[in-house]
Amino acid sequence: MIFYDKKRAEEILENGFSSFMSFEELFILAKYFRDEEGENDREIKDSLNDFCARYQSGFNEVLSRKKIASAIRYSKKHKLRINIEININKKELDSIKMLKSHNLQKILFVMLSIAKYLKANYIPKNKDKEDNNKYYVYSYNFIKILKMAKVNVSKHKRKLLLYELEQSGFITTFPNGYFEVNIACDDSDTIITLNSLDDIIDHYVITCDACGKILDNVSKMHCMCTECYKKKRLEDVNKNVKKHTEKVKMLNNSMC
């Protein structure tokens, strides 16, 4: 998934296509010429034809006209994606931390960040449409999302993770491959600000449920620092001892 179109467009202009007449790269160039150079449809067409003639061996303007026309048409619907600030607020983080699995938390954090980034770079067809207030992850690859979240699991486990996220109600999946991230919201109480989607998961920290201390090593059994877990275990033991003592006492009284 290409997040920063401007940077990618500049690389394409300098080095040419990565594969023969790549539509994805034509689309990025069309957006670049429209948004950065201020060109209209006719000018974009001329710029794309000139670029292809210079960098693409075997280019034929007539045979490629439909592909170029499609790239220009789609460039009207999407802005050139640039590097922007992404703000994650307290409500969103609180929702993420409701998930017991740390892997699920990391995956949802990545999906939320991508959805907020894509929404900020989206041009709505109808400004009054209700969907404009929703947050989607589209053109996604779930394996790529897992990689960004630094979650390495088997194919079977991947399906289970996606199923658990759907069952939580925090995301909705659609047949066209879109995800709607239902926990996303606009709130001024910003906790994390991302300036890039590179190494995104490094910004998400898991903290102790009891004291809030940042955890470097997370147990599969609990989400506590060593000190708090020892304290909790001692409290649990004392409760069990007290419960057992009361049970024995009641049993002895009933035999009298």
pLDDT tens readout for residues 85-110: 889 999 999 999 899 888 999 999 99
The pLDDT, as a whole number, for residue 26 is: 94
Q: Is the dihedral of CA 85, 130, 94, 153 positive or negative?
A: negative
What pLDDT score does 144 carry? 87
| pLDDT at residue number 187 | 81
pLDDT of 120: 79
- The reported pLDDT for the residue numbered 194 is 87
d(CA 209, CA 69): 55
Task: Find the helix or strand (DSSP H, E) in which 59 lies.
Answer: none
Structure tokens at 191: 């906790």
Q: How far is CA 154 from the centre of its chain?
A: 20
Tokens representing residue 93 in the block: 């983080």
Question: Tokens 């990618």, residue?
Answer: 8
Instruction: For residue 180, give the H/E element and its range.
Output: strand 179-181
pLDDT value, residue 3: 62
Residue 120 structure tokens: 């900020």
The burial of 247, by beta-carbon neighbours within 10 Å (0-12 exposed, 13-18 middle, 19 or more buried), is given as: exposed
Q: Which residues of the chain have pLDDT under 50?
A: 1
- Per the listing, tokens 């794309």 go with 48
Neighbours of 100 (CB within 10 A): 11
CB 204 within 8 A of CB 93: no
Domain segments of the chain as ranges: 5-75, 86-203
Q: Cα torsion for 167, 168, 174, 178, to the nearest 10°? A: -140
pLDDT of 123: 56
Cα 25 to Cα 15, 33, 106, 146: the distances in Å are 12, 12, 30, 25
Backbone angles phi, psi at 81, to 5 degrees: -75, 125
5: tokens are: 């179109």
